[in-house]
Chain A
């Protein structure tokens, strides 16, 4: 019984509702960034019905082939829905509408031959955030709940899965060998194909590139540990992965922004509103004391 309780407690720890409220604001605003910068092509792509190859998801739900009317409406739904949900209003209705619309939108963006892998945690977060329901007091909620904890833990698992599963995929694609990917020339291949980053200066050093592949592969393979870290160790791990993404962005022009923003599920976001209030209060206090001469 205690074993079961520990499993449940791990998947659904009791955490502040305020963290979910702040995370909602950040992630729903990020939807707006995402549809303009990262998955920005569904509307132009939907003008090419001859290139459309529906994913399993679209076939399963009999989603109609995209056309500019559909994608423009989806865009409008996403903009309105995200703004409402970012304000922590109608969290269930607006949240599920955004989750469904964003999933379809992103699926369309990936139905013309290329599938990206940086949206897993973000899509998971959008589907789970509405389940917390109304957070009383929103950012300044004083409540804690397993409802909030389950969502946060699940997003954390999805973030780490992005790394760990990519190591698994590398092992699979290398015919179940642990060494074939890190010993390959994948970074050379990637840099030749994207010649504008800093990576071109590394092309004459295949040994160094191979060392970087081993480093990345081992980091991905051991990333599961992060799910059990706390405090300073967790902060260091988060900074390590942030650095990892900065590095890959610099040499390859590849960012994982939708995954990065989901790292915030690990952070004590619930402290932000209090910190902000105290800062404003102390500023106001200083302003008044400057006006009143000391007696």
Chain B
């Protein structure tokens, strides 16, 4: 079994080293100075912040009232509502200002649950967990916005 070395020119080597150095430079710059906006060269900011021992932790959810008066959760996952929790959370101030933006969740959920009755009203709610010296204590619930689906 013989191995052969494929030839490579000086230019070929030079641009490769330059590209590698540039890439490393962009990545370090992104981590030290930039935001998520410069993806894929942005900072690795997932879970990179430092919550204090008495932090307030919120989980955002969407609940809906159906035509048969049942109140159900519209789980914020792509497979169930066409949109995920993180995407809704990133838009909370916008949704509070204009609750009709919840239309996307209603339509996403309804199209994936054709057997369920129509959604009449939706609420944007948060479960709030309070930390005390690093341990979760009580949990409560707050309503941020509501939107009545026009018939």
B-contacting residues of A (Cβ < 8 Å)? 7-8, 11-12, 14, 16-17, 40-41, 44-45, 47-48, 50-51, 55-57, 103, 107, 110, 112-117, 119-120, 123-124, 142-147, 150, 153-154, 157-158, 161-162, 165-166, 168-170, 172-174, 180-181, 183-186, 188-190, 192-193, 203-204, 206, 210
Contact = CB atoms under 8 A, between A and B. Distances in A.
A162 B57 CA distance: 27
Given A8-B17, A114-B90, A142-B4, A166 B83 contact: no
Contacts of B149: none
A51 B104 contact: yes
- Interface pairs A-B: 7 shortest CB-CB: A113-B90, A184-B50, A114-B86, A166-B44, A206-B134, A145-B6, A115-B36
A183 B43 CA distance: 21
Nearest to B53: A185
A143 B42 contact: no
Contacts of B31: 165, 168-169, 172
B59 A154 contact: no
Interface in B27-65: 27-28, 30-32, 36-40, 42-53, 55, 57, 59
B145 interface: no
B78 A186 contact: no
Interface in B64-96: 78, 82-84, 86-91
A12 B90 CA distance: 41
Interface residues of B, number: 59
Contact of A51 (B8, B24, B101): B101
A120 B42 CA distance: 10
A113 B39 contact: no
A56 B48 contact: no
Contacts of B12: 146-147
A170 B6 contact: no
A53 to B, nearest CB: 8
B13 interface: yes
B46 A117 contact: yes
B13 A12 contact: yes
